[in-house]
Structure 1
């Protein structure tokens, strides 16, 4: 009998399998047994390399960041950076999901270590942007640098695809338009005032607001009614005076978010007189919605898997309808764009907007909405192809909502 030789890349196989499972099913829905089954090994073989599931998640995120940093550090200028990332980013398709959705479960210290690594990467990208964009302030170069990374990270947010070389070309084009986007002259150091509310929220609204924040910051699984009640200055059991269960808070927040976003889009389109204006108003409405409540955007993006099946299906359909609306508006402006490229472009725009809105050092900028409008417009309208705009002239063709 010939003994089976252990593969030299067994550790990498385990980590790749765990990364895929965490990305597809969520950290809390995956067990060590699921990972060993996928790799077809015994649990003892996994524990030779990783102590537990927590270790698997930490090293999965770290491996993605290492790969990203290698690509960035190997670039000598902005052009080489964008070219390299356009080729390598699809190989890291799960990194953004693992970082944004799953890394919350690692705990403060491990996540702080990973955040430091990510800041090193973004700082390097921002310096490369600054070397090319001497017309911009350091703050604007950082905004563009982070937005460039968001373009490549957006491939984690969807399953749309194109043949490899074409996908690389689309990502390269989007990132170039971001990096070289003309930005206005608003004062980037001005701080957006905190609007606040003169009238206190009702207890029910306060519970929804604080639950949304906690679900976004910690993840639905790790938040309990005691946490929510404490954030509102009440005991956990008092939450039941307003909601039957924790899941009802998540259902209220997410369904309200999708409804508000759809309403904002419909209202934007009713004001449009032509396709180009429709796209402009739709982008503006989306940016305003995202900037209004970053925590709600986070919950809408990361917590749908915890919803009851019927609610989750309705939310997923709402998201599909929203993307389809955007695709129809973009098609009216750029009729030569095929559906896959349009959806990849739209997803990249939404990722750039959400990423900036949820980054603390950008969120307080008074000019953030204006800068995101400029970046989003540059991504949506390929000005290197003048026929796109010529095709948008004539009678209004605003899609029905």
Structure 2
């Protein structure tokens, strides 16, 4: 009996030694990675438990349900941002230096959380009550501190422009967490901090010519398949893929449910078609931009203008593309990301023609930052004029370039 008890006790001790002391932290890291890569609805608690190296019942001892885990993950990411900026000393007499230090700290936080920071794209869509207030409080405080320093650097800047430039800087420094391009950490930090810092001096036009008329929606397609696709994208953007049913789509398209299945075999097939539609439009705009350009700089300008127009006029489609990737089958997800990489490479190749001092890898990071800014700013509740978004994205790509490199292609 004593021997058996001794053996049992020793086994328990070995199990205790194997159990990580920071099990809750391990769970949160695994959850953040899963939510960041696949979105809220696609993640299963069993998958997180497996990734964290524990059983589902053990996970439930820490978190009662998926929402509780997601909320804690979002709070943890927000705390990391607050810690990063909180460590930066205030410099009332040197606002530009303080602003750069803040941007560097946020860039560092994005780099440190490259596998998990992508959930910022949709955290606001799913957080509730006190959780939403908590995360929003940190985000707002961070925005106000950046904006305050910006206004001290540029005291004549109007508040609306200051808010927009601040949002663009924040989006730019967050961009390393939205992709997996490779570059040494120090190079990423310097490159992205410098690019975001260049926005401080951007002069936005005061002309309303580029403003968006939110009431203009254009004509609707006549083809039933196109109607179904358009209504599905609208519903997915508004409510999330998982919350929308085939009956919802059929009602929106003014068809019986059976009519949906004559064009798409499932709701997943509709989402897949929507993703390829978005991907194809980005690919097509590259060809259109290049065919209308004579110099590398004109190519970059045309690429940005067309991409911003796509974001502003197809906001629902881009929103679905950003937030619902986890609901696409793994093979299709791989193919879509492969096409996305090809598109980024094309942008980066032309950027290095304009700025030959950049490496291809550095150009890819700047392109990702500019695209992230275009998407984020076009999704703001009060969407800014497209020409303002274009100006900010171009500044990220070109820096303080004076446009003197207008060399004909082939010269």
Q: After TM superposition, is the score higher than 0.5?
A: yes
Question: Which residue does 2:397 correspond to in 1?
Answer: 380
Q: Are the structure 2 counterparts of residues 397 and 125 from structure 1 closer, same or farther at C-alpha, using a change threshold of 3 Å?
A: farther
What stretches of structure 2 of length at least 5 have no aligned partner?
Answer: 1-9, 91-97
User: 1:9-24 counterparts in 2 under 5 A?
Assistant: 9-24=22-37
Q: Distance in 2 between matches of 1:211 and 1:116?
A: 33
String of CA shifts for 1:228-257, please: whole Å, max 9, x gaps.
234345554443354332223223322222
The yes-or-no answer on 1:176 pairing with 2:212 is no
String of CA shifts for 1:292-316, please: whole Å, max 9, x gaps.
1111112223334433566444433
Question: Which residue does 1:121 correspond to in 2?
Answer: 142
The answer to whether the 8 A contact 1:105-1:219 is kept is: no
Question: Which residue does 1:70 correspond to in 2?
Answer: 83
Question: Which residue does 2:94 correspond to in 1?
Answer: none
Q: How many residues end up aligned between the 2 structures?
A: 390
* TM-score (norm. length: structure 1): 0.85
Q: Distance in 2 between matches of 1:254 and 1:222?
A: 18
The answer to whether the 8 A contact 1:275-1:397 is kept is: no
Quick one: which of 157, 160, 165 aligns to 2:186? Answer: 165
C-alpha displacement of 1:179: 2.6
The answer to whether the 8 A contact 2:228-2:249 is kept is: yes
The answer to whether the 8 A contact 2:78-2:139 is kept is: yes
Moved more, 152-161 or 233-242: 233-242
Question: Which residue does 2:4 correspond to in 1?
Answer: none
Moved more, 8-17 or 189-198: 189-198
C-alpha displacement of 1:150: 0.5
The answer to whether the 8 A contact 1:225-1:237 is kept is: no
Quick one: which of 302, 306, 328 aligns to 2:327? Answer: 306
Quick one: which of 93, 107, 112 aligns to 2:114? Answer: 93
C-alpha displacement of 1:318: 2.3
Q: Are the structure 2 counterparts of residues 47 and 256 from structure 1 closer, same or farther at C-alpha, using a change threshold of 3 Å?
A: closer
Question: Which residue does 2:93 correspond to in 1?
Answer: none
Q: Distance in 1 between matches of 2:220 and 2:39?
A: 39
Quick one: which of 280, 285, 293 aligns to 1:272? Answer: 293
Larger gyration radius, structure 1 or structure 2 = 2
Question: Which residue does 2:163 correspond to in 1?
Answer: 142
What stretches of structure 1 of length at least 5 have no aligned partner?
Answer: none
Q: Are the structure 2 counterparts of residues 239 and 281 from structure 1 closer, same or farther at C-alpha, using a change threshold of 3 Å?
A: same
CA RMSD, Structure 1 to Structure 2 (Å): 3.0
The answer to whether the 8 A contact 2:75-2:131 is kept is: no
Moved more, 344-353 or 328-337: 328-337
